[in-house]
Structure 1
Amino acid sequence: MKVIYFDTETTGLDCACCKIIELAMLTVVDGEIVETYDEFINIGCELPPKITKITGITDEMLIDEGVSEERIARDLKERLTPDTIMIAHNCQFDLSFVYSLLNRYYPDEAYDIVSSLDWIDTVSVLKDRKDYPHKLVDAVEFYGIEKVNFHRAIDDTKALYHVTQAMRKDRDDLKEYLNVFGYNPKWGISGIEFKFIRYEAQPYHNMGEKLPYSEILPNKISKN
């Protein structure tokens, strides 16, 4: 079984007009970490100052260390093989950006690539475990995990890996969250609405009431 924990840093919140500037992936196969992937992306334009302030990523870093979007799209296509489980914190956001990038370079294949995978949103899981707030830093604190340099994709991805292990140890029901994303009914679904994801209303203050799940979801989660 292959699981990829992943995170993106972007130029903004809208996948229709904003771009990924850093992509990190931690690939686990049969319980062993087999690849740590972290790349800056040279998007060919200046970053909004607020993004540099939040992430610490500068234009110079993207120019000096960044690779092309085409290279990232090729890397994603190579790694996102069918039946891989993709895990992200606020997965709807990262999935929307990953799909948008793939679609720019592989428009005939992008949807098939992302729909052949299984997706878990750890924000949806966390909302069923603790009351508001639900950022990754809150999950790290909740589970007593050593803090990292948040808002850098590779550090967030490593933290996500440890958070997910803690979630599984806390309550072994992650299989129930495969391809089920919660969303705040006050704001609706953000990004691209994917047909292979089931979206369920999930308020921020959700303690005591879990998301409704399908009884036929496959058990694909083990020790990864």
Structure 2
Amino acid sequence: MAEILSKSPDYRVLRRLTPRTEFAPCDGQATKTGILLDVETTGLNTAQDEIIELAMVKFDYLPDDRIARITDVFSSLNEPQHPIPVEITELTGITDEMVLGHRIDPDAVSAFVSDAVIVVAHNANFDRKFAERYWPVFERKPWACSATEIEWRRHGFDGSRLGYLLAGAGLFHQAHRAIDDCRALIEILATDVPNQVRSAFAILLERARRKTIRIWAEQSPFDLKDVLKRRGYRWSDGSDGRPRSWYIDVDEVNQVVEVEFLRTAIYLKDVEPRMQIMSAMNRFSSRL
């Protein structure tokens, strides 16, 4: 019945994701090692809240940036110093009883990621800050964000949330734990993007390898904030030590154009805005 429905233009069939370990044959080719990472936490404050679960999937990928196979899996709970908030338990399914007495072994984490040349998270701006706070090994690894460094809507998906991506690929999964999300994400990244001849992971790596420039529009006129927002600028409230200012991240090749925009449309004078060079080594890190 499902097969018949899938052939009709009036229906879309979603199939439950069946986790697998093999994606593309190696055929003797040299491979590199990557890590998919997801953390569950007691809240959204990356400087104060605590990790209650860490999940990682280790995989090999080929010279053409196709994912070849999963080679190992890491999943561990961690008991926080304070009770898990009710809303977090409702969201993650993780209770105080489940984490009681559990600790994430830092040596085991370091050993697991030691040979990885890239760490991927579906919200690296969140996950990286937590991971670096707990395990310094992640400060020395390049990171990529599968949620923001692929233009999913341009490739025909409804959004960047994992559920949307799975549905776009004709799949669904029961998202209960971090490891389930990691397995779902690797399925998406291993899939060829519609109208492309390469995988989502290849597109992600191409973007992650490029340098970007963070440009700060400090002390910009308040009445031009909507102009900045429409152009893609985001607001930093200064609570994390960064400037209290609007800012934007642009590719290195667009740096001159963006500075000229600030000079002619915002400040109306010759200015040299604060700029920071970012790469996969420091992008999404609280050290930036």
Q: TM-score, normalised by structure 1?
A: 0.70
Q: Distance in 2 between matches of 1:3 and 1:95?
A: 15
Gaps in structure 1 of 5+ consecutive residues: 103-109, 194-198, 202-210, 219-224
| Correspondence for 2:208 | 178
Quote the Cα distance in structure 2 between the aligned partners of 1:175 and 1:11: 30
Instruction: Find 1:37's aligned residue among 67, 74, 77.
Output: 74
Q: State the match for 1:120 in structure 2.
A: 144
User: What is the alpha-carbon distance in structure 1 between the residues aligned to residue 107 and residue 169 of structure 2?
Assistant: 35
Q: Counterpart amino acid of 2:251? A: P
Tell me the equivalent position of 1:135: 161
Question: Distance in 2 between the 1:57 and 1:190 partners?
Answer: 32
Aligned equivalent of 2:126: 93
Please give the root-mean-square deviation of Cα atoms over the aligned residues, in Å.
Answer: 3.5
Is this contact kept in 2: 1:82–1:116, CA < 8 A? no
Contact 1:22 1:38 in 2 (8 A): yes
Q: Could you tell me how far apart the structure 2 residues matched to 1:182 and 1:57 are?
A: 39
On the 8 A contact 1:140/1:147 being kept in 2, the answer is yes
1:9-158 matched pairs, under 5 angstroms: 9-30=40-61, 31-63=68-100, 67-69=102-104, 71=105, 73-81=106-114, 84-102=117-135, 110=136, 113-124=137-148, 125=150, 126=152, 129-130=155-156, 133-144=159-170, 146-158=171-183
What SS class does the counterpart of residue 173 from structure 1 fall into?
helix
Q: 1:67 to 1:170 in 2, by over 3 A?
A: closer
d(CA) in 2 for partners of 1:67 and 1:138?
A: 33
1:20: how far off?
0.9
Cα gap change, 1:88/1:191 in structure 2, threshold over 3 Å: closer, same or farther?
Answer: farther
SS in structure 2 at match of 1:134:
coil
Amino acid at match of 1:162: E
3-state DSSP of counterpart to 1:123: coil
In structure 1, how many angstroms separate the alpha carbons of the residues matched to 2:239 and 2:166?
25
Check 1:212–1:143 CA distance in 2 against 1; reply closer, same or farther (3 A cut): farther
How many residues get paired?
189
Q: 1:54 to 1:186 in 2, by over 3 A?
A: same
> Shift of residue 76 of structure 1?
2.0
| Of 167-176 and 118-127, the range deviating more from structure 2 | 167-176
Mapped pair 1:2 → 2:50: no
Query: C-alpha distance in 2, partners of 1:12/1:169?
Result: 33
Q: Read off the aligned partner of 1:135 and give its amino acid letter.
A: R
Measured after TM superposition, the shift of residue 54 of structure 1 is 0.6
Question: Aligned residues: percent identity?
Answer: 26
Offset of 1:80 from its aligned partner?
2.5
Structure 1 residues 200 and 89 mapped into 2: Cα distance closer, same or farther (>3 Å)? farther
Asked whether the 8 Å contact 1:119–1:179 carries over to 2, the reply is: no
Rounded Cα–Cα distance in structure 2 between residues aligned with 1:37 and 1:191: 33
For residues 108 and 248 of structure 2, the distance between their equivalents in structure 1, rounded to whole angstroms, comes to 31
Q: In the superposition, relative to structure 1, how do residues 170 and 56 fare at CA in structure 2: closer, same or farther (>3 Å)?
A: closer
Distance 2:178 2:146 in 1: 16
TM-score normalised per structure 2: 0.56
2 CA distance for matches of 1:97 and 1:191?
A: 17
Aligned-partner Cα distance in 2 for 1:119–1:32: 20
Q: Which runs of 5+ in 2 are unaligned?
A: 1-31, 62-67, 215-231, 242-246, 254-278, 281-288
Contact 1:24/1:39, CA 8 A, preserved across alignment: yes
